[in-house]
Structures are given as C-alpha cells and as structure tokens.
Amino acid sequence: MSASLEAGVNALKEQVDSTVASFFSSCVHCGMCADACLFYTETGDPHNTPITKTEPLRRIWKSEYTLFGRIGKKLGLVKKVDEKLLAEWETLVYDSCTLCGRCSMVCPVGNDITSMIRKTREGMAAAGYVPEGVIGATKRAVTIGSPMGVKLPALLAQIGHVEKDTGLKIPLDVEGAEYMLLLSSMEIMNFPEFIGSIAKIFDKVGASWTISTKAFEATNSGIQIGVSDIAAELVQRIVDAAELLKVKTVISPECGHAYMAIRWEGPNLVGKPFGFKVRHILEVLETFRLDGRLNTSGLESKKLTYHDPCQIARRGGVIDEPRNLINMISDNFVEMPDAGKMNWCCGAGGGVSSNERADKVRLKVFQRKKEQLDEIRPDAIVSACSNCRINLEEALEEYGMEIPLLGLTETIAEHLAD
C-alpha cells in the first residue's frame, strides 16, 4: 500500500463513528436520494446516486467495523479501497456533488447523506485524489487568505472605488463596532457594488460596522476540499479578528458555503463556542426591517423570482427573510416550483465551480433550473449567493435565456427611502 493510499484509508477510518455506522446500517437502498439529486436526474447515470458516492467510506465501515465484513476481509471476499477506486470515485465526489443537502431531506430513515459525502472527501483529500482547481483554491486560501488570490491591496482598491461612488467611508478595523462584515472573493472582484450597498444601508439604519483587514475572506475552501484542519484554520482567522475588534456580530455575506462554514460548522471546527453572533446578511437586514429601521420606497415593475441558495436556505434555514425583504420592493413576486428548502441547486456549489473538469456536467445539470424558470418565466432572478449568481449568469447564457440577475442586498439598497 502506497503512503498516500494509506493516509487516505486512515483518514476514512477516522471518519467512521457511531453516526456513520448507524447511517450505513439503516440505509434501505430505496433510491429516493437519486430522484432528489440533479446530477442523477439530469444525467441518468446510476453512479450519480448520492448514496453511491459514499462507497469508499462504506467499504471501510463494512470491512473494519462489521462482523461479516471483518470475516469477509480475512477470507479475501470484501472489496478493498485501492487507488483504482479512489481515482474512479474522485469525479463522483467532487464533480457530481455540490453538498447541497437535498438528498438528505428525502431520506426515509433520516440519513444525512451530505455529511457522509463530506466525510468521504476527507479520505479522498488525504490520499491526494482531488481536482487540481480545488487544490489550487485551497492552497491560495491558506497561503494568501483568499481562494481566488485576492490580497488586501485589491480589497483596498475596490473600497476606494466604492467610497468615490457612494461618498461614504468604508470603516476598516474599527474596534467595538457592532458588526464585522465578511466578504467572498467573488463579491470583492465580481460584485463590489455589494460593499457599496452595505455602506448605504448601514448608514441609513445607523448601525456601526467594520471590515477587518486581517480576516475579510468568508469563503472556506477547507470545507469544499474536505480537510477539517484547513477549515478550522480558516475559521480561526475570523474568530481571532472578531475577538481583536471586540465586535458583537460577524456578518456572512451573500455566499452559501461561507455561511454554513462559519455559522454552523465553525464552533465545532475550532472546538469552542464563539464569543459573538454569526448572522447572514439577510438575517441582519430582516432584523433592521422588523425594528422599523429599514425603510424602502418604490416597487420593481419586473416579475421577480428568488433562487434559494442551498447552504443558506436548505441547510441554514434562511427562507422567510429573503421573501420578506423582496416583498418590500416588489408586488409581482412569483415562487419557483420546489422553492424554499426543497429548491434545486444551481449546480456550482461545494467546490464544483472552481473545478474546470466539472464544467460540462455543471452546465448540463442546469437543465433542472431551466425547467423551473421555464414554468414561471420571470423578468429577473434575485439571489443571495455570489457563487450562484456567477453560475446562473453563465448557464443562462449557455441556454440562451436572457434573464437579468439581481443581488438581494443591492436591490434593497437601490430602494432605500430618502
């Protein structure tokens, strides 16, 4: 056994706990998870059935932790985890899964298939079976602080443009501010207007906020590649910055995996509860609305629909907030079929968007989103995840669908009452 394979097998063994054992023991092989996964429904490939993607982890569980499996292993009757299996399963685990969680929602026995795929990635990463694009993004996140290689000078340059455009000062490293805003690299480089929108909104509602120059990146590539140690290191950077500035709340921006990583997995990754709150920007805006501080004027004339980002809605529970906010600025809002917690993934999360090898299947599975949009024919799509927005823009162009994309925070800022 090679050193890399041994490391991968050992990593998989470390992932097998009572929860994993109960999940594999209780799986009834009903196939319901297949019909919940757009990578299966749009390709028809049985290998893309969610539970199938956990095969390396299942083999380790069976051969090491079950009676018949151990007997079979001694007799040479149990299939092994080898280089061939890992090489074949790498494309399934990284190209054909966004960790969206829809499969877990429909499992009749309550298995969290998404978490098992996430655990399977731990073994794949330890063995070195990871797409180059995901490896590159993770290395940049660790060494530079950003998966896209965005350094502080780039952020400061964008902030300079925002300040010139808005006439508002973007607060940096302000100790004692109520809120500390995180940003994803995509917002900094692709949607810098998000920063300006935050400045306008927070100025109107009179809330104190800041951006840390030591930890401004929200995206957690450690979650996407499947290395908990890296994920913990990236979370700890944010914790250290928040504690240094003594802020009360850290705001996750319009980025799905960033929210899941810092809000829900963060305390477990670093091994202690946070001394501050973590809220998605939509949760913060909803608080301002309920407090009567967020006031808007005018209504969008376009028929709007909302794309629920998987990590924010299905796995994070932020479902009512965006709809309440949209209804402030629209009287022509229509839901997609299967909206809310059962909405279909855009196809680009979980590191798929940084994996060029997955481009073909990523665009193919967008057919499921296209069907949703064809049924309601909106004039514009609103979302709250920069990764979703970029993928939606590319996929809509691929399918010849001319539908504008709107960021919810930016749209709210455009309708602020004077």
DSSP character at residue 66 = S
Mean pLDDT of 68-85: 88
> Is the pLDDT score of 78 beyond 90?
no
Give me the percent of the chain exceeding a pLDDT of 70: 100
User: What is the per-residue pLDDT for 1?
Assistant: 67
Q: What is the mean pLDDT of the chain?
A: 95
Q: What is the pLDDT of residues 204-227, one digit of tens each?
A: 999 999 999 999 999 999 988 989
Equal fold, 3-130 vs 304-414: no
User: What is the per-residue pLDDT for 306?
Assistant: 98
User: What is the per-residue pLDDT for 2?
Assistant: 85
**Contact between 324 and 401 (Cβ < 8 Å):** no
| Residue 305 phi, psi (nearest 5) | -130, 165
User: Under CATH, which architecture does the 304-414 domain have?
Assistant: 3-Layer(aba) Sandwich (3.40)
So where are the chain's domains?
Answer: 3-130, 140-290, 304-414
Mean pLDDT of 241-260: 95
Place of tokens 């996140």: 141
User: What is the per-residue pLDDT for 4?
Assistant: 87
Strands 249-252 and 304-306: unpaired
Q: Identify the CATH assignment for 140-290 out of 1.10.8, 3.40.190, 1.20.1050, 2.70.98.
A: 1.20.1050
Distance separating alpha carbons of residues 375 and 337, to the nearest angstrom? 8
User: Exposed, middle or buried by CB within 10 Å (0-12, 13-18, 19+), for 64?
Assistant: middle
Mean pLDDT of 95-99: 96
The 10 Å Cβ neighbour count of residue 282 is 27
Name the 3-class secondary structure at 99: coil
> Is the pLDDT score of 72 beyond 90?
no
| Residue 123 phi, psi (nearest 5) | -70, -40
Confidence of residue 74 (pLDDT cuts 50, 70, 90): confident
Place of tokens 């797409």: 131
Q: What is the pLDDT of residues 369-380, one digit of tens each?
A: 999 999 999 999
Q: What is the pLDDT of residues 323-367, one digit of tens each?
A: 999 999 999 999 999 999 999 999 999 999 989 999 999 999 999
User: What is the per-residue pLDDT for 256?
Assistant: 87
CA distances (Å), origin 196, targets 72, 187, 354:
62, 11, 26
Distance separating alpha carbons of residues 228 and 3, to the nearest angstrom? 20
User: What is the per-residue pLDDT for 79?
Assistant: 86
User: Under CATH, which architecture does the 3-130 domain have?
Assistant: Orthogonal Bundle (1.10)
